[in-house]
Amino acid sequence: MAGLSHVAFRQVVRSYLPAHVNTLLFTEMLSTRLLPLEDVGQTPQTRIADGETDLISQLLGNDERLIDHSVKKLQSIAPAGIDINMGCPVSKVLKHNWGVGLMGDIRYAEQVVRGTRAVTDLPLSVKMRTGLSDDPVYLIEFVKMLEEAGADWITLHPRIQSQHRKGRANWEYIGRVREAVRIPVVGNGDIQESEDVLRMQRETGCDGVMVARVSTARPWIFWQVGETLGLPPPLGREGEPAPRTPEEEGLEYHRALILFCDQLESNFAPAEQMPRLKLFLAWGNKWVFFGHYLWKQVNRCPDLIRARGVINDFFSTPKTLLPRTSLQ
Ligand SMILES: Cc1cc2nc3c(=O)[nH]c(=O)nc-3n(C[C@H](O)[C@H](O)[C@H](O)COP(=O)(O)O)c2cc1C
């Protein structure tokens, strides 16, 4: 997630992953126009922590030469895989025929996947939407093309471009795509509670589930799912059950926010810290009772010292997390 899934956020998520369990995390989308000029590993978007061996780099672009340069530059952070963004719906991106724009021209998208396949042996995936319009026949033709062109797996966020992130994600399409191809299909869209992860797998048969927005509020969702599946708790939390009640989750959110601030401090320059805290809270607050008040207060803070004070004040009386929010 642009602006969100940077190293500090990932460290918070990692602190809640069941111990010794393999997962895949993603970078923010990385522009193939910028990567060739950048000091990869040093920019806020490409900075990684020790041991991030499961990190997929997501590329935004369509120019084969720039993709080639970008993949080479990324070797310095040794990605676990390369993902092509065919989902970003914003007009700035569509104008360049990047993101979901690529889904409008199947032959062009094929060229991009074949071109990327030709320059890397790493696992190659595509993060996509239903498309520019709601056309399930085209969607199936498109995913079959991706498989043929060399994609190793697909993540489907089943909304069309104009929906952005509004309305409901149509999980039925995840099931249809699952049946149409042999490569793994990861489902994505509208996961809010741990039960949603298991329900998406049950209802669609998908091979994996991608969790996005709610991980800014409930990053321990991975612990909750793991616990239900009989996996061990995260390292350092041995013997503890995952937070489940609104009160337990309220308490954990306070801890997670402070950990996030600590991670921002260790990984980012002062000027880079507050914008990231504000964005993290802009999403996470939706699940917190009175969270909007907290977000407004933090927005007024000039630095992390003040922000920590505001956060600790807010949680000086116990707060609760909502199981679900409207997400609109
Ligand atoms: C702030 C923000 C930035 C996002 N940026 C990206 C991105 O760069 N690449 C991408 O594939 N998806 C991006 N997404 C979309 C999510 O990956 C995901 O597809 C979408 O939010 C639906 O999943 P969810 O309901 O679990 O949030 C972004 C979402 C948000 C909220």
CATH number at residue 77: 3.20.20.70
- The verdict on residue 123 lying in a domain is yes
Q: How far is CA 38 from CA 59, 119, 131, in A?
A: 14, 19, 31
Residue 113: C-alpha distances to residues 62, 119, 128 (Å):
9, 10, 13
- Ligand 1 in reach of 225 Cβ (< 6 A): no
Shared domain for 152 and 12, answered yes or no, is yes
Would you state the pLDDT for residue 17?
A: 98
Q: How many domains does the chain have?
A: 2
Atom 19, ligand 1: residue with shortest CA distance: 157
253 lies in the same domain as 223: no
pLDDT value at residue 22: 87
Is the CB of 28 within 6 Å of ligand 1? yes
State whether 173 and 250 are in the same domain.
no
Contact indicator for 265, 7 with CB cutoff of 8 Å: no
Residues 158 and 18 in one domain: yes
pLDDT at 33: 97
pLDDT of residue 327: 83
Q: Confirm or reject: Cβ of 212 under 6 Å from ligand 1.
A: yes
Q: Which atom of ligand 1 is nearest to the CA of 4?
A: 1
Shared domain check, 303 and 164: no
Stretches in the chain below the pLDDT threshold 50: none
End-of-domain residue from the set 193, 228, 263: 228
Half-sphere exposure of 127 (CA within 13 A, CB side): 29
Evaluate: CB of 129 within 6 angstroms of ligand 1.
Answer: no
Ligand 1 contact via 4 beta carbon (within 6 Å): yes
Crossing angle of helices 64-74 and 106-119, rounded to 10°: 40
**Per-position b or e across 126-155, b if 16+ CB within 10 A of its CB:** bbbbbbbeeebebbbebbebbbebbbbbbb
- Residue 134 is classified by DSSP as -
Same domain, 256 and 299: yes
Residue 30 in domain: yes
**285: its two tokens:** 């607050």
Q: Under 8 Å CB-to-CB from 39, ≥6 apart: which residues?
A: none
Whether 180 and 66 map to the same domain: the answer is yes
My answer on whether 34 and 130 are in the same domain is: yes
| 275 and 307 both lie in a single domain | yes
The pTM for the full model equals 0.97
Question: Is residue 90 situated within a structural domain?
Answer: yes
Out of 165, 171, 218, mutate this one to test ligand 1's pocket (max ligand atoms within 8 Å of CB): namely 165
Check residue 86 and give its pLDDT: 98
- Cβ of residue 224 lying under 6 Å from some atom of ligand 1: no
Q: What is the pLDDT of residue 328?
A: 72
Residue 162 lies in a domain: yes
Residue 64 burial by CB count (10 A; 0-12/13-18/19+): exposed, middle or buried?
middle
Based on the domain organization, do 69 and 196 belong to the same domain? yes
Q: Based on the domain organization, do 206 and 268 belong to the same domain?
A: no
Verify that 176 and 269 share a domain, yes or no. Answer: no
Q: What is the span of the domain harbouring residue 211? A: 7-228
